[in-house]
Structure 1
Amino acid sequence: MSNAHRLAWMDAQIRERRYPNCRMLAERFSISLRQAARDIEYLRDSMGAPLEYCRLKRGYFYTESSYVHGHVVITEEQRQSLSYLADRYARLESDHARHLARLFRRLIDQSNDPAAELVLPLFPADPGELAMFDTLSCAIRSFTKVDVTVVSADDGVLQTIRLSPYHVYAHQLDNYVVGYCEPEGRIRFFAVSRLQKAERTEVPFDLAPLLKDASIVPELLSEPDFCLCTL
């Protein structure tokens, strides 16, 4: 039985305030105390569970009730695909590719190999850009305008624009947002990394009259005159 079932049992026991411990876990699943301890360490260190040991109750509890535990169920076809992707990404030289290869292997590894219990490193990402991406994504889902402050690539001047965001695209190593700009009345692309600020408004928008039946596709990013409409 994989540790996913054991961790799910631990989570349920904790939520029922039964204060499970290594011995209870080992007896319940007929595993060694060492393996039970590794499972608990994995729940705490790799899955981010806010675990604390209560000496009075002689068991574990959550210090934060908002924690949600979950596991991924992978079909055989998905396992094969992830195995293939792990192999392909492992052959690439970038840190991003190696991180993805380890992530894919971790998803499909159900063994007790200690190497599988390694904590994956965080993807290198700027917190400010992640917050910007989240703000734009929320605005796109809710069809609300955002006020963005953009740094011009030409002279470094800051420009504030009211944007009705249509979509966020990934191109090479950057993310781009496309939308309708006010007051100039044009559809433009902006590199998310060049946005200094993005604030959602309560003003709704409807791009249908502007886009009509047209579809903006990622291939536009590689057009020769793309830079003419990008800050």
Structure 2
Amino acid sequence: MSKTARVYKIELLIRNRGHVSFQTLLEELEVSPATLKRDLEYLRDQLGAPIEYDRFLNGYRFLQEYRGHKHELPGLWFTERELYSLLMTNQLLSGLGSEGAISRHLQPLLDRIHELLGPSESDVKTLFKRVKIIGSTSRPVSATVFELLGEALLKRHRVHLRYHTRARGTASDRDVSPQRLVHYRNTWYLDAWCHTRERLLRFALDAIEDATQLDVKAKDVSLKQVEAEMDGGYGIYAGGHAYWVTLRFSPNAALWVSREKWHANQKGELQPDGSYELSLPYTDPTELAMDILRHTGEVSIVSDTGKVADIVRNRIANAFSMIAVKDH
């Protein structure tokens, strides 16, 4: 039994029985007297548990002022396995951070987990070495911008942005009301109400040249509306008219694609011949076309109400044209 489990059980036994003798604790925990003494000291000195030894009762109990009140040790509702899971979650979030911004704010929680596990319970550094998280094509975001937007999001304040629009190659100033931070394919985005355009827009955080939090209350948009307007497209593209495409994957690709989630509103069905048909909406065909091209030779487009089929055909034709030129 781990130290975390033992100290939790000690606290639980005293709470349920009123007082518990040293011998009873030894029998319940199945540890040596020296280990039990260390656990009791850890409970009182490190975790601040209000436990005292009563000579008349020959047992341990809560201090007088805590009797009759429910007492819980902070954090001890986690098992050791759950604490390890939290450590793994911290490492994952660290990989999503902007110059370590997320990890830095989670450090107090991480320190607390280390304290609960105890220095003799695990070698966290060794544990981390055996978990590797690989990120690709990430676009770095200024930690200052990331933290400012996070604070404005929580405090519900407006933000003034100097934003670079890649498509036009221009920068503009605008005031926005942050609604939601989105992490997608190693890049951070902000869903916000733009007071210049008077509608919801999605901003890439790495394209923000400067940001200033304003002492003005943000416009509140319900999350239901944000999801309805921003999550209808494919990938990171939001808003606009939704088109639908139906793809048919070969039996060879169907085994894997049938387990993938391309869109929250997708519709998939295995066919009698083992192929797999996938129907999904999109607003901008760019990203969807790229994902379809990953399966070239294993996928065909059954129907399309937009232009993704045209883009896929053109890119395949251009690719073969380039190959022909090189061969020549």
Higher relative contact order, structure no. (Cα contacts within 8 Å, ≥ 6 residues apart): 1
TM class by shorter chain equals 0.3 to 0.5
Please give the TM-score of this superposition, normalised by the length of structure 1: 0.46
- What TM-score results when the alignment is normalised by the length of structure 2? 0.34
